[in-house]
Amino acid sequence: MMDHTMEKTNSKKKIVWWIAGFLLVAAIAAFFILKETANTAEQTDQSEIQTARVRTGEMIVSTSGNGVVVSSNQAALGFRSGGVVTAVNVSAGQEVKEGDLLG
């Protein structure tokens, strides 16, 4: 009876040691994998850094593109008499009031 109990105890001890060994090997492997990943990330970050000398001056930024301008509002206008606009006597951005002569 004692031998059977000892065998169970030894068997449990073996399982515990196997699990402990496996966990130790897994922890060591994870350490080296994470260390290598961190080193690779540092090298990548350093290679992406760019420096430039600061200077004063004019900076020209421009862009161009093609497109269609569409009004969000539309109005139908009707007039009692027709005609042709021959002159506009105000400049762009100038403020006008009701009743001012535009042409």
pTM value?
Answer: 0.34
Q: How far is CA 2 from CA 5, 16, 39, 44, 77, in A?
A: 5, 21, 55, 63, 110
Of the pLDDT bands very low, low, confident and very high (cuts 50, 70, 90), residue 46 is low
pLDDT of residue 31: 93
pLDDT of residue 103: 64
> Cα 31 to the chain's mean position, in Å?
31
Whether 45 shows a pLDDT value over 60: the answer reads no
Angstrom distance (rounded) from CA 9 to CA 50 = 64
